[in-house]
Chain A
Amino acid sequence: MSSTTQPIPHYIRPWPSGWTWRPTWFGGLHGSERSWAIAFFLPYVAVFLAFIVYPVVYGIWLGSDPELYAELFGQPRYLTTVLNTLLLVGVGVNVKMFLAFLLSGFFVIPNRWIKALLVLYMLPWALPALPAFLSLHWMLIGYGGFLNSALETWFGIAGPIWFNSYPLALSANILSYIWKWMPFWTLVFVAGRMAIPQDIYEAAAVDGATGIRRFTFVTFPLLANLYLICTLLSTLWTVGDFTTAYFVSSGAPALQTETLATFGFRMAFDQGYPRVGIAAVMASLPLLVPLTILLMRRVQATEVQL
């Protein structure tokens, strides 16, 4: 952000004559310049205030009664729900990001077969979540589902009824989640790897960094910040993930595989306790706000690194 923190050299002065540098909010912009800046921000600020800030404030107000939290923690399924959400985030996000990072190294290999495979590999991302997860749901349904039919036909194995077992159903959710979202992050890392100038690698090769050493001492340090930013973003997006648990396992068996989002939804709309639903959400803010602040700091750091 160096361009905004330093005065512009005097020989570039496209701005209206007569301005002086003032360390103010609008950083030395005058009159019409300032109006322009406000005009550029205005649409987003309006959307942000009307559709994010106001609902958040309203939600905090609705969920401000301490008794709600006693009621929430007394809910039989709440702790399982928290655990499931943590597993989806802890295992799902990290396995996905790590594999995506490794696979991005495979997809940058210049080979036309690999290029063609990348086109196919991106399909789960382009496929909408609802059809994809419904397909995965029917695929794992047990008797007559494609996976068990295939196991039976080709290998003679009688597959389990996936959604009757808690670990299997939860794994199905996590694997479906990875299936759907890994391609996107792979593409982000492919872009990150392509942005590394070739001469850095050449210089490293002269110094003897090839193969695995090239990865640990050149590629990874250059992409570490990108990796962290992406993991944080993905974590924040996944904590509120609704579609995976709702459509793949639908909470089966017996609402054991619900996540916070589906739990809050069921509380608010099926059981008619909207305030408990909101409390379920508010209880996760102490985790989410620090992660967001960390994300903001890492994004700032891209100014120097990356």
Chain B
Amino acid sequence: MSLALSRYRMRRVLTRVAGTTLGVALAIWTIVPVYNMLLIALSEDGDEFTGTVWPSDPSFESFEVIWTEGYWYLENFWHQFGNSCLIGLAVMGLTVLVGSLASFGMGRMRLRKGWLLGNVSLLTYAVPASFLVIPFTRLMHLYGLTDSLWSVIAAEVAFAAPYAILIFHQYGKLIPLELDDAARVDGATPFQVYWRIYLPLMAPALAVVATYALLLAWNEYLYQYLLLSSRRSMTVAVAINQFFDSDEAPWNYMMAVAIVYSIPPIAVYYGLRRYMVAGLTMGGVKG
């Protein structure tokens, strides 16, 4: 009895030790590159790579320079930040709207071949976005969207929508069709069913897709670089990389810009976090 008990205790202690080790390792793995950003941003210009592990003399000068746009690469910083936010929000809103409309039509209008649309949309991923960029930039001239934020928004929505449709469609199966029928009996139009019943019940999936689309827009560099050329239409992502055009750029400013640029998506993610796990559930598991 006591032997069995001590063995049980032993196992518990071992599990605890293993769990803690794994947890600490994961925390270090996650935090090091983030710490490195702060380390560089808090250094003085010219002191970034002197082999220090701690910011010996932390200075917030680089953040002040960004605030006042006091360096010539950063002249239009807040305007560019506005462009990034505009693209991010438009991609987020349009992906949710277009994706949820399509998945409603697909999953809840009792179409015989509704699923085909989902399949066709997945075909988008047969040609990765970065591969499509060459014909895409040329076509934007044709559409008259040269140097326009809308060209970037269109590209990013087109690439975010198939995943959005997949998530919405899977999550939508958890909502009983009988609810729609009941509303239809009471005289609701399909759009009212979509707006009053479908969307509110889909809240977790909407949060997932919104975060996903925003992060896609924020992660994207190639289209923004190629489609937006003038200083006024440029986004922060493009502006950051401009630092590489100069040999002795102040890397502490660059990292400070990178940190400021990272704040909106992190805020949105942590704001919508509690819906995430529920929204990512891909259909019910049948027992």
Interface residues of A (CB under 8 A from B): 1, 3-5, 8, 12, 14-15, 23-29, 33, 36-37, 39-41, 43-45, 47-48, 50-52, 54-56, 58-59, 62, 103, 106, 109, 111, 113-114, 117, 119-132, 134-136, 138-139, 141, 143-146, 148-150, 152-154, 179, 183, 187-188, 190-192, 194-197, 199-200, 222, 226, 229, 233, 236-237, 239-243, 246-247, 260-261, 264-265, 268-269, 274, 277-278, 281, 284-285, 288-289, 291-292, 295-296, 299-300, 302, 305-306
Contacts and interface: CB of A to CB of B under 8 A. Distances in A.
Nearest to B47: A144
Given A130-B237, A261-B131, 4 more contacts: A36-B191, A59-B132, A139-B33, A145-B49
A43 B273 contact: no
Given A126-B265, A264-B130, A37 B113 contact: no
30 contacts: A24-B112, A25-B111, A27-B114, A33-B109, A33-B190, A37-B111, A40-B101, A41-B106, A43-B101, A44-B117, A47-B157, A50-B154, A51-B136, A55-B135, A117-B26, A120-B31, A123-B266, A125-B215, A128-B218, A130-B258, A139-B32, A146-B32, A191-B281, A197-B287, A236-B125, A236-B128, A261-B131, A261-B222, A265-B130, A288-B125
B4 interface: no
Contact of B154 (A28, A51, A114, A281): A51
A49 to B, nearest CB: 10
A192 B266 CA distance: 24
B30 A124 contact: yes
6 closest A-B pairs (Cβ-Cβ)?
Answer: A240-B128, A144-B49, A40-B105, A27-B112, A14-B184, A131-B258
Contacts of A278: 134-135
A247 B186 CA distance: 57
Interface string B31-55: 1111111011000000011111100
Range of interface residues on B (Cβ < 8 Å): 35 or more
B199 interface: no
Interface in B171-187: 177-178, 180-181, 184-185
A135 B36 contact: yes
Contacts of A268: 134
Given A27-B111, A265-B222, A126 B124 contact: no
B97 interface: yes
A295 B273 CA distance: 28
Given A55-B135, A188-B280, A288-B127, A135 B255 contact: yes
B109 A138 contact: no
B19 A28 contact: no
Interface in B79-125: 97-99, 101-102, 104-106, 109-115, 117-125
B126 interface: yes
B53 A146 contact: yes
A187 B276 contact: yes
Interface of B: 19, 22-23, 26-27, 29-37, 39-40, 48-53, 97-99, 101-102, 104-106, 109-115, 117-136, 138-139, 143, 154-155, 157-158, 161, 163, 165-166, 170, 177-178, 180-181, 184-185, 189-191, 194, 215, 218-219, 221-222, 226, 237, 240-241, 251, 254-255, 258-259, 261-262, 265-266, 269-270, 273, 276-287
